[in-house]
């Protein structure tokens, strides 16, 4: 395939959002059903992700922060057969280079927990026994502290980085059914606030309720679109008549076979179609769309960029035309 080398190069931790994304993906890969993201000062002081997944085995303590080390399947011939989010072994090594990283972990059959500390080269500096239920907690302190210029810029723009982090986390919270995801933020002396939460429910619809509230969820209706060559798009979009999202930021989420992706062209199709068909009453509203593209293997390439969010869809135009047609039917003024 020739792409293995390419996907192994490049920085995976670009900002606060990608840091949290990589940690949450590791928890999901570990089979966690409970994931807690604890932030301090919007994540600039501390990002801590705790899960109840499989834990880390002792023979993996030394290597897990080394570049290109992964315990996940490595000898794939086809990236699309990949069932885990991670496979390159770059996230923890990058985080060590950028911040102070410590890990507390216990395997299901482990007698006690272990605290592991790493230096900036990803070298294991110490281990100490500690109490912990099975699972793993990764703590990242002062992201970008080892890149002074980036650090300053990060601190200056922390609110904007935080907004992106929330969008990333919302995407995983929406699509990860049967996983409870909670994110809290602790600022100054104020009480810790919950900023994203799901209850581990088995349906996307219930995740939408817990992430965005029932008022938003009530303004949505299910959509299923048959696309070209076996592709389908399914999820929820705004009802024609519902002005559900007046001031909130964009709530346009795309997934590819359950993985969050960036699909700017898809977002444009949704917003343009909505705008062209909305009545005077909803003209100032932004549409909500939470759509999973179910595409057959070999009809897309993931991992075009290091953060794995850019994708190349072979039949993108046909697929988006089908989406546009379905949305037009749904939102046509005559229908309501
Ligand atoms: P990748 O996910 O591509 O394997 P990472 O750098 O993200 O690479 O993680 C390196 C390794 O650390 C993983 O392969 C896994 O063995 C271990 N690991 C990291 N986070 C967790 C976690 N939450 N639970 C269990 N193992 C983990
Ligand atoms: Mg990973």
User: What's the whole-number mean pLDDT along residues 315-327?
Assistant: 96
The CA 270 to ligand 2 mean position distance, Å, reads: 31
Residue 2: per-residue pLDDT: 36
Distance in angstroms (rounded) separating the CA atoms of residues 309 and 173: 16
Q: How far is CA 187 from the centre of its chain?
A: 23
Q: What is the pLDDT of residue 6?
A: 38
Give 33: exposed, middle or buried? Use CB within 10 Å, 0-12, 13-18, 19+.
middle
Question: Which atom belonging to ligand 1 lies closest to the Cα atom of 135?
Answer: 24
- Residue 253: its pLDDT value, please? 97
pLDDT averaged over every residue in the chain: 89
- Distance, in Å, from the CA atom of 181 to the CA atom of 169, rounded to the nearest integer, reads 9
CATH architecture under which domain 214-335 falls: 2-Layer Sandwich (3.30)
Who contacts 280 (Cβ-Cβ below 8 Å, separation ≥6)?
A: none
Q: What pLDDT, on a 0 to 100 scale, did the predictor assign at position 335?
A: 55
Rounded to whole angstroms, how far apart are CA atoms 77 and 79?
A: 7
Burial class (CB in 10 A: 0-12, 13-18, 19+), 177: middle
Kindly report the protein residue whose alpha carbon is nearest to atom 7 of ligand 1: 91
Measured at the alpha carbon of residue 198, what is the angle toward residues 192 and 202, in degrees to the nearest 5?
Answer: 165
Write down the pLDDT at residue 9: 43
pLDDT digits (tens, 9 = 90+) for 1-60: 333 333 444 578 989 999 999 999 999 999 999 999 999 999 999 999 999 999 999 999
Residue 269: per-residue pLDDT: 97
Tell me how far apart the alpha carbons of residues 90 and 93 are, in angstroms, rounded to a whole number.
5
Least confident among 53-57, 67-71, 275-279? 275-279
pLDDT at 244 over 60: no
For residue 196, which of 157, 168, 236, 227 has the smallest C-alpha distance? 168
| Most ligand 1 atoms within 8 A of CB, residue of 49, 63, 70, 302 to mutate | 70
For residues 324 and 282, give the distance between their C-alpha atoms in angstroms, rounded to a whole number: 18
Question: What residue ranges of the chain are covered by domains with CATH 3.30.230.10?
Answer: 214-335
Pocket of ligand 1 (CB under 6 A): 22, 26-27, 30, 51, 53-56, 60, 64, 70-72, 86-92, 136, 138
Which alpha helices (H) appear in the chain, and where do they start and end?
4-7, 16-29, 91-98, 148-156, 158-175, 204-212, 214-218, 264-277, 316-331
For residue 249, pLDDT over 70 is answered with no
pLDDT at position 22 is: 96
**Which one of 7, 26, 73, 93 would you pick to mutate in the ligand 1 pocket, going by the greatest count of ligand atoms within 8 A of its CB?**
26
Radius of gyration, alpha carbons of the chain: 21
Range 307-313 average pLDDT: 75
Q: How far is the CA of 24 from the centre of ligand 1 (A)?
A: 10
φ, ψ of residue 260 to 5 degrees: the values are -60, 135
Of the spans 141-150, 246-255, 304-313, which averages the highest pLDDT? 141-150
Quote the pLDDT of residue 333: 75
Q: Could you tell me where in the chain the CATH 3.30.565.10 domains are found?
A: 4-197
Give 3-state DSSP helix, strand, coil % of the chain, rounded to 5.
30, 25, 40
Tokens of residue 48, six digits: 């801590």
Ligand at shortest distance from the CA of 139: 1
So what's the pLDDT on residue 8? Answer: 42
The confidence score (pLDDT) of residue 282 equals: 65
How confident is the model over 126-178, as pLDDT tens digits? 999 999 999 999 999 999 999 999 999 999 999 999 999 999 999 999 999 99
Burial class (CB within 10 angstroms; exposed 0-12, middle 13-18, buried 19+) of 327: buried
Nearest ligand to the CA atom of 65: 1
pLDDT per residue as tens digits for the range 74-108 = 555 555 566 788 877 889 999 999 999 999 999 99
| Structure-model confidence comparison of residues 282 and 100, the more confident one | 100
Contact 114, 128 (CB under 8 A): yes
- Across the range 184-206, mean pLDDT stands at 96
pLDDT band, very low/low/confident/very high, at 271 (cuts 50, 70, 90): very high
| Pairing assessment for the beta strands 251-256 and 288-294 based on DSSP bridges | parallel
- pLDDT for the residue numbered 150: 94
Let me know if 23 is exposed, middle or buried by CB neighbors in 10 A (0-12, 13-18, 19+): buried
CA 71 to centroid of ligand 2, rounded, Å: 10
Report the distance separating Cα 172 and Cα 161, nearest Å: 17
**Ligand 2 center to residue 2 CA distance, Å?**
21
Counting ligand 1 atoms within 8 A of each CB, the residue from 10, 27, 29 with the most, and so the one to mutate, is 29
Q: From the CA of 306, how far away is ligand 2's center (Å)? A: 12
What kind of fold does domain 4-197 have according to CATH? Heat Shock Protein 90 (3.30.565)
> Is there a contact between 51 and 196 (Cβ–Cβ < 8 Å)?
no
Given phi > 0 = left and psi -120 to 50 = alpha, else beta, which region is 257?
left
| The model's pTM | 0.91
């Amino acid at each position: 395939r020739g792409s293995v080398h390419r996907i192994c190069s490049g920085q995976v931790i670009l900002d606060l959002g990608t840091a949290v994304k990589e940690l949450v993906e590791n928890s999901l890969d570990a089979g966690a059903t409970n994931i807690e993201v604890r932030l301090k000062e919007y994540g600039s002081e501390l990002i801590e992700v705790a899960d109840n997944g499989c834990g880390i085995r002792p023979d993996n303590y030394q290597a897990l922060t080394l570049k290109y080390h992964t315990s996940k399947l490595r000898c794939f011939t086809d990236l699309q057969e990949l069932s885990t989010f991670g496979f390159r072994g770059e996230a923890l090594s990058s985080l060590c280079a950028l911040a102070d990283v410590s890990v507390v972990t216990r395997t299901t059959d482990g007698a006690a927990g272990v605290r592991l500390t790493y230096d900036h080269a990803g070298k294991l500096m110490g281990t100490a026994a500690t109490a912990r239920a099975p699972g793993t907690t990764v703590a990242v302190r002062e992201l970008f502290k080892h890149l002074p210029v980036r650090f300053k810029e990060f601190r200056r723009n922390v609110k904007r980085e935080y907004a992106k982090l929330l969008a990333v986390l919302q995407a995983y919270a929406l699509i990860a059914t049967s996983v409870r995801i909670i994110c809290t933020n602790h600022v100054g002396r104020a009480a810790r606030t919950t900023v994203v939460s799901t209850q581990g429910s088995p349906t996307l619809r219930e995740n939408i309720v817990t992430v965005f509230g029932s008022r938003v969820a009530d303004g949505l209706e299910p959509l299923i679109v048959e696309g070209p060559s076996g592709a389908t798009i399914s999820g929820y979009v705004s009802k024609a008549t519902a002005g559900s999202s007046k001031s909130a930021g964009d709530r346009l989420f795309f997934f590819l076979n359950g993985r969050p992706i960036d699909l700017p062209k898809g977002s444009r199709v949704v917003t343009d179609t909505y705008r062209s068909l909305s009545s005077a009453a909803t003209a100032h509203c932004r549409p909500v769309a939470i759509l999973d593209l179910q595409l057959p293997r070999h009809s897309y390439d993931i991992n075009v960029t290091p953060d794995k969010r850019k994708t190349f869809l072979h039949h993108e135009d046909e697929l988006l035309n089908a989406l546009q047609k379905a949305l037009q039917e749904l939102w046509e003024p005559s229908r309501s």
